[in-house]
Amino acid sequence: MTDAPPFPRKSFADIAPALDRYTDDILFGDVWERPQLSKRDRSLITVATLMALYRTEQLPFHVRRALDNGVTREELGELITHLAFYAGWPCAASAAAVARRIFADAG
């Protein structure tokens, strides 16, 4: 396994060691490092996808990561508003609640 990623995430190693290794080595070690898209753009895409698919358990990690990758609070708010019309109001409302908690934690 590669060195730990420079951001906190929950490990799956106790349940699915291969999934944990693939997450570090392939997803974050390769896909997120490819130069064709910036990490900022990848964060916007990932947050949008998680929101649209109503994957709220993964959303806090990726909202924090988006902020770390240069996405502003205002941009995240606009993303949530924009996707309300494509993914639905409940998805947007849930994403807004997650963002509120992350923003409050970040100060």
pTM: 0.87
Superfamily of domain 38-106, CATH level 4: AhpD-like (1.20.1290.10)
In the chain, where the domains are located? 38-106
Report the percent of the chain where pLDDT is more than 90. Answer: 86
Q: Report the C-alpha gap between 52 and 11 in whole angstroms.
A: 24
| pLDDT tops 50 at residue 40 | yes
- Each residue's pLDDT tens digit, 63-92: 999 999 999 999 999 999 999 999 999 999
